[in-house]
């Protein structure tokens, strides 16, 4: 098995906790192989996975996040049909919901000769290149992860793609979220990523029309494949 083989699975619309639990299973599988390899003369190749999905309305707070960045109480949260999870990725608070493409690479960075910094860079690069296919020029913002529009203009800067990962023993989980047809009003209930004074946008908001999620998935998958030099193998939908 080539070390850069990646099994791609489209989970569709899936509850956040189910997708999180599923990632943990795949993550532990890779980590356990790496640990065993350290003890053995014969080395087993570690698998790599890439999951795409959408989530019902949910807010997640990373390890360094502050609950004060959630601007609504539990009752209002329930009224909006949203859930809240404190999770084991880096970063602060963010929102996931229908119309947002969420990608979870659960991969062994050693297989791609990547440092953590380079891994984040390549995730950003894949989103930047994908947005360019829709005529949207995006870039990075100094001191902040993710993908931004008009980053050079403080009053106009707006975020379209977020990144939050957990990496242990150079194995990744969690990942990125790209706003496609996202209901941006849900971001009004938080201080996204703990950054004051910056707005959030989406493909739909920038183009003035709805965008086919399947089209976005195909483009992002292609750009991830090129950015990481992945050999993608698509599998049938497997319930997490």
- Whole domain around residue 188: which residue ranges? 5-234
Q: What is the CATH number of the domain that holds 163?
A: 3.30.930.10
Catalytic residue among 193, 200, 216, 221: 193
- Check residue 43 and report its DSSP letter: P
User: Among this protein's residues, is 53 annotated catalytic?
Assistant: no
pLDDT 10s digits, 150-202: 988 888 899 999 999 999 999 999 999 999 999 999 998 877 654 555 789 99
The answer to whether residue 239 sits within a structural domain is no
Predicted TM-score of the model (pTM): 0.92
| Residue in 134, 115, 112, 118 with CA at minimum distance from that of residue 220 | 134
pLDDT 10s digits, 204-238: 999 999 999 999 999 999 999 999 999 999 875 55
Do 92 and 64 meet the contact criterion of CB atoms below 8 Å apart? Answer: yes
Q: For the residues 103-118, what does the mean pLDDT come to?
A: 97
Spatial distance between the Cα atoms of 114 and 103, rounded to a whole number of angstroms: 18
Query: How many structural domains compose the chain?
Result: 1
pLDDT 10s digits, 53-88: 999 999 998 887 777 778 877 788 888 888 988 888
The answer to whether residue 65 sits within a structural domain is yes
The answer to whether residue 119 sits within a structural domain is yes
The answer to whether residue 240 sits within a structural domain is no
């Amino acid at each position: 098995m080539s070390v850069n083989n990646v099994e791609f699975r489209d989970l569709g619309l899936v509850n956040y906790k189910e997708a999180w639990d599923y990632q943990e299973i795949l993550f532990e599988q890779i980590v356990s192989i790496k640990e065993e390899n350290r003890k053995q003369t014969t080395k087993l190749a570690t698998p790599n996975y890439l999951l795409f999905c959408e989530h019902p309305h949910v807010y997640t707070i990373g390890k360094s996040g502050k609950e004060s960045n959630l601007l609504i109480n539990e009752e209002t949260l329930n009224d909006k049909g949203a859930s809240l999870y404190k999770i084991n990725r880096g970063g602060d608070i963010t929102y996931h919901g229908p119309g947002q493409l969420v990608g979870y690479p659960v991969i062994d960075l050693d297989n791609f000769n990547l440092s953590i910094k380079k891994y984040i860079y390549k995730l950003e690069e894949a989103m930047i290149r994908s947005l360019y296919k829709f005529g949207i020029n995006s870039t990075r913002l100094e001191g902040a992860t993710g993908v931004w529009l008009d980053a050079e203009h403080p009053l106009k800067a707006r975020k379209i793609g977020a990144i939050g990962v957990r990496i242990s023993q150079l194995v990744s989980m969690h990942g990125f979220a790209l706003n496609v047809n996202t209901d941006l009003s849900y971001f009004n209930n938080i201080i996204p990523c703990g950054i004051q004074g910056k707005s959030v946008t989406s493909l739909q908001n920038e183009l003035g029309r709805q965008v086919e999620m399947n089209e976005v998935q195909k483009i992002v998958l292609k750009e991830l494949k090129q950015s990481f030099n992945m050999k993608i193998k698509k599998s049938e939908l497997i319930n997490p």
